[in-house]
Structure 1
Amino acid sequence: MSLKVKAVSGLFWTIFQQFGYQGINFLVQLFLARILMPEAFGVIALLQIFISIANNLIDSGMTSSLIRNKDISEVDYSTVFFLNITVSFVLYIIAFISAPYISAFYAMPILDSVIKVYCISFVINAFSIIQITKLTKEMKFRTQVLVQIPSLIISGVVSIYLAKTGWGVWSIVIYNLLQNILLSIQYWVRSKWIPKFLFNKERLKYHFNFGYKLTIASLLNSIYDNIYGVIIGKTFSPQVLGYYNRAELFQLFPSKNLSTALEKVTYPMFSQIQDDNVRLKRYYRQIFNLVVFFLTPTMILFSVLATPLFTLLLTDKWLPMVPFFQIMTVVGVLHPFQRYNLNILRVKGRSDLVLKLNIIKKIILTVLIIVSVQYGIYGILISQCLFSIISVGLNSMYSSRMINYSLKEQILDIIGIYLLSIGVGFLVYVLDNNAFISLNNFSRVLLGLFIGYIMYFLMAFLLKFEVVAIIRKFIKERKFKNE
């Protein structure tokens, strides 16, 4: 099977995996949000920074090294596996000891026991990291779908039942733990890979030298991606943090999941052509345009229809999160710019530049946080938007040199998509606030999305956007392959 055919097939299964998996997770979260109060999600949101840091330390950037390198042996896999397990146990012990102090810092007694139970997931996840890495390297995304979907459905049903029977925040804790246990068991069965008692210091050093820079960069991202939650949780109430956390979930659902799905395919694919800059730029440009083409109108339409959408899905008790989400839409729209430019540096093996960029950005973000926190919750949200804009310029600076795809060229490629999306969004806004205002929330959302998408895709076709030709080519190639 050629690289291109593999990529198209992998793309289909990865998008299905990401949106199937996250779609079910999203539905579970919706049911839980309708049952539980915002404070319950605020408690869990306080843990995200610790969980994210731990996961990055366990991985240590070595799985990226395993995927990127073409010549990997059983020694490499087993060495990294045993390191992951060791680190996960150490981190859990640290979390267990730190739990009372973290609980005291936030003045939330329940955090003590929640941390001690929730963080067991560190160890559980470490047992299946290499299995996932092997499946990703081999581009076996269909297998990952068959593992993830049933695990999510079972754990989701259990957690919703627990929430309905009064378990509160513990229904969310058990949801995550049960899901991780089921995933780990199935990955062992499906991957058919079992570690051997092999450990090589030289191979560890080799992967560590590549991975540690990515790890430091990821740690900085973990801290700063979750720092807003820490600040909001400490400065405001758990209820406000709950609103912020759910707004972020809605913002990330289309932006992060579409980007993640495509990145899972493109990273191993790009790694195989990392020395061919012409092909690398061509494929990168196509993927980038595809992401922006589907993501931008979705984010803008969700923002325009946020009030009837959230009332319909979450009930009136979540309406204070509407302005949070609308401001954060800017972050979601700019997400592809940030993510894919950094991906090129990883493919090229320039983890040193990834680290350098992250340090620079975090210094800028620290200044923005110090200034914005004085202006309340909305000042904090606006600072996130400003940081996203700054990050776009910084991330593209190095990647433009790598594959000769400058920020100016990227903007020219997608400016039409942005302008069309804004125009369609404005039209739907006018219709929703005039013609549809007397309708029920379901009708407002359905009509708004239907009219918005029809207008968007029709105008893109009539204006002959280049990305439309890319989509038609992908469909034609897949049809030819099936025949």
Structure 2
Amino acid sequence: MSLREQVLRGGAFLIARQGLGLVLSLAALFLVTKIIGPSAYGVYASALGLVSFVLQIASLGVNVYLVRSPDLDEKDYQAALALYGWIGLALLVLAFPIGKALQLYTKISGLDWVTTVLLLGLPVFLIGRVFLAKLERTLDFARVAVAELAGSLSYLLVAVPLAWQGWGYWAPSFGWLMSQGVATLLYARFAAIPLRPRWHRERVRAMLEYGMGFSASLWVWQIRILVLPLVVAPLAGPQGAGYVALAVRLVEALSFVKSATWRLSISALARIQQESSRLRYAVEEGMYLQVLALGPFLLAFAWLGPWLVPRLLGEAWSEALLVYPFIALAYLVNGVFSLHSSALYVLRYNWQVSVHVKTWDHPFRMDLRPRGWAGTHRRWSPWNSLPHSSTP
């Protein structure tokens, strides 16, 4: 099977998975948020924002190294498992202090325990990234799709009943832990990598040499995740955080094609990294396809949202539509350049991407004075449109 056929086949599986996952995630989102309300959802979303950032930092780009490196053997996977094992132990120790610090900063009741519980799941999920990297490296996205759909379904089966029983912000929290756990177990089963962590110094060094450059640019970019827990939540409270979190989640769900192409791009572009003309053509063609795939969904919801949201979620959630246009525009512009950043990562221009993102970051952070809960997040929306890619 040619590379083009592999990419098209893998992309079809990922897009189908993202489409089915969109149905499941939106069903769970609408049911859970309608039941628990903006404030409880804001607590969960604030905790998850910090946890997602910690997960990105803890990954150190090792999973991306395992996907794009030309030559790997069993020792590389053993070294990655060992490295993530030690990082996981550190996270177990730091979980409660991080959660407590966030609660003291935001003054939101219950945020410390939710953050702590979510952080306790990260050691297992880090190990799962090694298995996922093996599947993505071989373009086995059919099995990736099965694992992630099972995770989405498990979230629905756990979060919705707990929400009905009055568990508040714990309902989506336990749903998220279950979904990540189920997906991780299936990654491990499908990848068939022996769970034998061993410390191979030279292999770890090679991973970190690549991963630190990748991670530096990603950390600068992923600081945007902290806008919700560190900017919106303290200034607007859990209710305002809930509104912004819902708008972001809706845009992410509608951008399912972008998420699929980002994940496929590094695996695919790594195969042609030595052929500059093919690499350039792939990026240029993908840029137009991204806009055609994203624009109609985002525009359709902009028209239908004012009618759908009050009917599906209730009038209490209507204010989330105030920030939707800014976030949708940011994601659309970002989609145009997502393949450019993938190509730069494949070609090892990691530090250059980091410097570029940091350069553009500074002007958009000059003025963070409160302008209502919507204005707090709107001030940051231009940063989301930088030529970089989000991580699903």
Question: Does 2:102 correspond to 1:106?
Answer: no
Could you say which structure has the larger radius of gyration? Answer: 1
Q: Is 1:375 aligned to residue 374 of structure 2?
A: no
- TM-score between both structures, scaled by the size of structure 1: 0.76
Instruction: Return 5+ residue gaps in structure 1 as ranges.
Output: 397-483
Return the offset for 1:372: 4.3
Native 8 Å contact 1:79 1:199 kept in 2 = yes
Gaps of at least 5 residues in structure 2 are: none
Q: Determine if the alignment matches structure 1 residue 56 to structure 2 residue 52.
A: no
Matched, 1:384 2:380: yes
Matches within 5 A, 1:258-273: 258-273=257-272
Q: Using the alignment, how far apart are the partners of 2:115 and 2:362 within structure 1?
A: 29
Q: Per the alignment, in what secondary structure is the counterpart of residue 37 of structure 1?
A: helix
How big is the shift at 1:385? 4.1
Does the Cα contact within 8 Å between 1:49 and 1:222 map onto a contact in 2? no
Decide which moves more: 329-338 or 24-33.
Answer: 329-338
Which residue type is aligned with residue 380 of structure 1? T
- Once residues 57 and 323 of structure 1 are traced to their aligned partners in structure 2, the CA distance between those partners, rounded to angstroms, is 31
- Residue 253 and residue 234 in structure 1: after superposition, are their counterparts in 2 closer, same or farther (change >3 A)? same
- Matching residue of 2:353: 354
Report what 1:453 is aligned to.
none
4+ long deviations beyond 3 Å: 374-382, 384-389
Q: What is the CA-CA distance between 1:145 and the residue it aligns to?
A: 1.7
Identify the residue that residue 25 of structure 1 maps to in structure 2.
Answer: 25
Structure 1 residue 138, shift from structure 2 partner: 0.3
Q: Is the 8 A contact 1:251 1:299 kept in 2?
A: yes
CA distance in structure 1 between the aligned counterparts of 2:263 and 2:106, rounded to whole angstroms: 37
TM-superposed deviation, 1:289: 1.4
What's the counterpart of residue 152 of structure 2?
152
* Aligned-pair CA distance for 1:229: 4.1
2:370 is equivalent to residue 364 of structure 1: no
The equivalent residue for 1:8 is 8
RCO comparison, higher one (Cα < 8 Å, 6+):
2
Query: Do structure 1's residue 128 and structure 2's residue 110 form an aligned pair?
Result: no
What are the residue-to-residue correspondences of 1:75-474 with 2, within 5 Å? 75-255=75-255, 257-367=256-366, 371-388=367-384, 391-392=386-387
Q: 1:133 to 1:386 in 2, by over 3 A?
A: closer
Q: CA deviation at 1:278?
A: 1.2
Instruction: State the Cα distance separating 1:197 from its structure 2 match.
Output: 4.4
How far residue 10 of structure 1 moved from its aligned partner, in angstroms, is 0.7
The verdict on how the C-alpha distance between 1:340 and 1:373 changes in structure 2, with shifts beyond 3 A counting, is farther
Aligned-pair identity (%): 18
Q: Tell which deviates more after alignment, 69-78 or 295-304.
A: 295-304
Task: Return the letter of the residue paired with 2:356.
Answer: L
Q: TM-score, normalised by structure 2?
A: 0.93
CA-CA distance at 1:20 after TM superposition: 2.3
Q: Is the 8 A contact 1:48 1:226 kept in 2?
A: no
| Deviations, residues 411-464 of structure 1 (Å, cap 9, x unaligned) | xxxxxxxxxxxxxxxxxxxxxxxxxxxxxxxxxxxxxxxxxxxxxxxxxxxxxx
Q: Which moved more, 1:2-11 or 1:304-313?
A: 304-313
How much has 1:364 moved relative to structure 2? 2.5
Change (3 A) 1:199 1:381: closer
* Root-mean-square deviation over aligned CA pairs: 2.0
Q: What is the letter of the counterpart of residue 142 of structure 1? A: A
| Residues 314/76 of structure 1: CA separation in 2 closer, same or farther (3 Å cut) | same
CA distance in 2, matches of 1:220, 1:208: 17
Q: Do the aligned partners of 1:224 and 1:362 also contact (CA within 8 Å) in 2? A: no
Distance 1:294 1:324 in 2: 22
The count of residues paired between Structure 1 and Structure 2 equals 389
For residues 357-406 of structure 1, give each alpha carbon's deviation from its aligned partner in whole angstroms, at most 9, with x where no partner exists: 12212322322xxx2424334443443343355x34xx69xxxxxxxxxx
Question: Is the alpha carbon distance of 1:374 and 1:166 closer, same or farther for their aligned partners in structure 2, counting shifts above 3 Å?
Answer: closer
Q: CA separation in 1, counterparts of 2:167 and 2:225?
A: 29
Distance 1:120 1:80 in 2: 20
Q: Deviations over 1:135-179 (max 9, x none)?
A: 000000111122222232133112211110111111111101112
Q: 1:28 to 1:108 in 2, by over 3 A?
A: same
Cα distance, 1:307 vs structure 2: 0.5
Counterpart-to-counterpart distance in 2, 1:233 and 1:74: 44
State the secondary structure of the residue aligned to 1:199.
coil
Letter in 2 for 1:322: L
Residues 311-368 of structure 1: CA deviation (Å, up to 9, x unaligned): 232222211112221332211221212422211211211111121112212322322x
Question: Residues 116 and 374 of structure 1: is their aligned pair in 2 closer, same or farther, counting only changes over 3 Å?
Answer: closer
